[in-house]
Amino acid sequence: MRRPRIPVLAFAADVVAVLVFAAIGRASHEEAGSVVGLLGTAAPFLAGAVAAWATPWVRAHPVGFRAGGVVLAGTAVLGLLLRAAFTGRLPLSFAIVATVSLAVFLLGWRGVAALTSRLSHRRTSVR
């Protein structure tokens, strides 16, 4: 894969991770399955992810765990603050579950990518 594609794919993976997080959350609360509803739920967290992507730490090495931590922090903190501003409340239990879930998704795909890269590199060096 060409190097210039990696940041685009990493950004897309983060967006998909946030959308999956929002979809699972909506489904667990039996909320309607509309696209507008999904986007409304995901919007504060997507804004946080976009803000994190504006930092040089993420853009420099978007697949790394340091970038994942910055994206997680931006997504969770800004997302929760924006959600609280719009809804007027922020239950602690929701904040904890949201942060842990986002960590699994945003750091999880990076872990899979690192493992895949390591295994691919190992196979190439053996040949």
Over its length of 127 residues, how does the chain's per-residue pLDDT go in tens digits?
Answer: 456 789 999 999 999 999 999 999 999 988 777 899 999 999 999 999 999 999 999 999 999 999 999 999 999 999 999 999 999 999 999 999 999 999 999 999 999 999 998 887 777 765 5
User: H helices then E strands: how many in the chain?
Assistant: 6, 0
Residue-wise pLDDT for 114-124, tens only, equals 999 888 777 77
- Rounded Cα–Cα distance for residues 125 and 119 (Å): 10
Among the listed residues 90, 94, 98, 93, the one whose alpha carbon sits nearest the alpha carbon of residue 73: 98
Distances from the Cα of 94 to the Cαs of 32, 44, 102, in angstroms? 19, 14, 12
- Write out the two tokens for 20: 């999956």
C-alpha span between 73 and 52 (Å, rounded) = 8
